[in-house]
Structure 1
Amino acid sequence: MITAKAELAGRLIEAQPDRAATEVADVERLARSALADVRAAVAGYRELSLAGELVSARTALQAAEIKADLPTVIDEVPEEQRELFAWVVREGVTNVVRHSGAKKCAIKLSARQIEVLDDGRGPTTSGDSGNGLIGLRERADAAGATLQIGTASGGGFRLAVRVDS
């Protein structure tokens, strides 16, 4: 999200300096927050929150000028699945913002499955080549879940995790 906001500020600096200044202030705030999160994660204190990751996803997608269709309620997701699903949101939206070239991103959520879908370029490599996707596969395996990576119906990219038990 920091990178996306910094890139946006760079594009706006001449045409819309006031908006660019706002984006730069957001970058500073996000960088401080990220540093605090890294410190907490290293110390082993931070668990991801599904609700928090959805809020962050909305902010990141908006900053990247990608239309977001995200759930507003997570009640149907069992408590024991929420952290795994939060990781899916974090990794999926990071990839949408960084790599997809998408104009739209949707996250679909049910008690046993989460999907991150976009209308961008679609998969460019086979399998899970990035460290984030490798880590996500390991988390899914540990939770007895299945990770799916591929093309969304109608094109674009689809990242999904389904809890099998």
Structure 2
Amino acid sequence: MPQGLGPLRLYDTQRSGNAWKVRLLAGFIACPLERRTLSIDRGDLRTPEFAAVSRFRQVPVLELGNGGTIVESAAILFFLAQGTAWWPDDPGQQTFWHGCLSSNRLTCIRWRNCDCIAPFIRIGRSIRAKWRSGITGLARLWLSLRRI
């Protein structure tokens, strides 16, 4: 993750799966985020104040400490992953992951054999195992995600 940009603020909603991906990666790389959770039901995404933050009026949006913003989960994930073990050094693998992120299909993982997918496979297996173990597993998963 690029350094020296000041505190990062994530605009999200409770039901946004794309914002959840950003929170998940931020937790894995120990990147502190200040959350601003908006309500679709109250119309928070249609306000002029939010339009000044997100030209598309959708979440997630990452606001940088220097006043800049990054919209779209793929761009935010790319930004956060830079310089971490979550982003490959090989240009061929980078191109592959740009395609996965921009198509929003992490199912492409099974079609490609590259070393950088191991963390995603472990996460998927962990979530699947906790899901199958019933309500206790779901409670554990929820508790672990609350820390992110």
Superposition TM-score tier, normalisation by shorter sequence: under 0.3
Q: Structure 2 length normalisation: TM-score?
A: 0.27
Give the number of the structure with larger relative contact order, counting CA–CA contacts within 8 Å between residues 6 or more apart: 2
Greater strand fraction, Structure 1 or Structure 2: 1
Q: Structure 1 length normalisation: TM-score?
A: 0.25
